[in-house]
Amino acid sequence: MYKQYKNAILSILAMIEMELRRLRHDPLEIIARAIQPILWITVFGVVMARVRVFLSIGDYITFITPGVILQSSTFIALAYGISLVFERDLGILKKLITSPIPRSSIVIGRILAGGIRASTQYIIVLISAIAVGAKIVSNPINLLLGYALLVYGCMGFTSLSMILAITMKTRERFMGIIGAITMPLFFASNALYPIDIMPGAIKYFAIVNPLTYIVDILRKLLIYNSCEVFNDIIVVTIFVACTTVVAIKILNKIVE
């Protein structure tokens, strides 16, 4: 029993290592994906701060930094699912399910790998935000905790992406759906403005949008130097757990 857990954990670590090695060989995607958030902060953020649209918010650049981190990480996480579907067409998935590790650890390993890939945006966006004057806490515990919780949240979006990739079946349809949901997820959340100024329907969507809670976590940890993130973590956990369970179920079905 103990040995089984150990093997499952080692195989999950191996999949994370695989992802990190891939990143090292080809960091281009990450760099290319960093351009947009940098523009959000250095152009949109700076301009909006100057026109002072949201009076309730003190420093706008600082305010949107966590939101922009999430926007760009979620993009990557949501695009990640396609790689698993490619592996179904290729033999990797077939090979993995004949290895001695449990099937669930294949999914968990890949989800975690996707979360880590997505969270690379954390550092890039934080540095560019600080460069244009965002005031981010320097407490290393908060910074690390923020990173870990970002990976955690992105795991949910990676699972979601795998579920979509599997049910959409073709690459084109998958890309279409992903394109259609990423922007609304971003705009209908507290990433760019506080929830209370939103109109009714959008407000409700923002409240059930898991992105909102991850942004909230980062805002508390990185800006307000507060660790009252327990409630947010519960919501994010529900999101991650549900999507992961569905992804495991669906994976079992597609290999049949």
Burial of residue 9 (CB within 10 Å: 0-12, 13-18, 19+) is: middle
- Which residue has 């979620």 as its token pair? 74
Using CB under 8 A as the binding rule, whether residue 245 contacts other proteins is answered as no
Among 38, 212, 211, which Cα is nearest to 128's?
38
Q: Give dist(CA 154, CA 185) in Å, integer.
A: 13
Whether the Cβ atoms of residue 33 and residue 154 lie closer than 8 Å to each other: no
Using CB under 8 A as the binding rule, whether residue 236 contacts other proteins is answered as no
Using CB under 8 A as the binding rule, whether residue 7 contacts other proteins is answered as yes
Q: Is 76 helix (H, G, I), strand (E, B) or coil?
A: helix
Using CB under 8 A as the binding rule, whether residue 59 contacts other proteins is answered as no
Position among 36, 42, 44, 87 found at the interface with other proteins (CB under 8 A): 87
Q: Provide the token pair at 202.
A: 């959008």
Beta-carbon count within 10 A of 131 CB: 11
Using CB under 8 A as the binding rule, whether residue 169 contacts other proteins is answered as no
Using CB under 8 A as the binding rule, whether residue 31 contacts other proteins is answered as no
Burial of residue 94 (CB within 10 Å: 0-12, 13-18, 19+) is: exposed
Position among 95, 169, 173, 249 found at the interface with other proteins (CB under 8 A): 95
- Interface residues for other proteins in 106-135 (CB under 8 A)? none
Position among 71, 72, 83, 128 found at the interface with other proteins (CB under 8 A): 83
Using CB under 8 A as the binding rule, whether residue 29 contacts other proteins is answered as no
Stretch that binds other proteins, among 11-19, 45-53, 154-162, 201-209 (CB under 8 A): 11-19
Stretch that binds other proteins, among 72-80, 93-101, 124-132, 232-240 (CB under 8 A): 93-101
Among 49, 193, 46, 70, which Cα is nearest to 132's?
46
Using CB under 8 A as the binding rule, whether residue 32 contacts other proteins is answered as no
Stretch that binds other proteins, among 15-23, 32-40, 134-142, 156-164 (CB under 8 A): 15-23
Using CB under 8 A as the binding rule, whether residue 56 contacts other proteins is answered as no
Q: Provide the token pair at 197.
A: 């100024």
Stretch that binds other proteins, among 72-80, 97-105, 156-164, 181-189 (CB under 8 A): 97-105
Nearer to other proteins, 168 or 215 (CB): 168
Per-residue buried b or exposed e for 35-68, using 16+ beta carbons within 10 Å of the residue's own CB: eebbebbeebbeebbeeeebeebeebbbbbbbbb
Give the interface with other proteins as residue ranges (CB under 8 A): 7, 10-11, 13-15, 17-18, 21-22, 25-26, 83, 86-87, 89-92, 94-101, 255-256
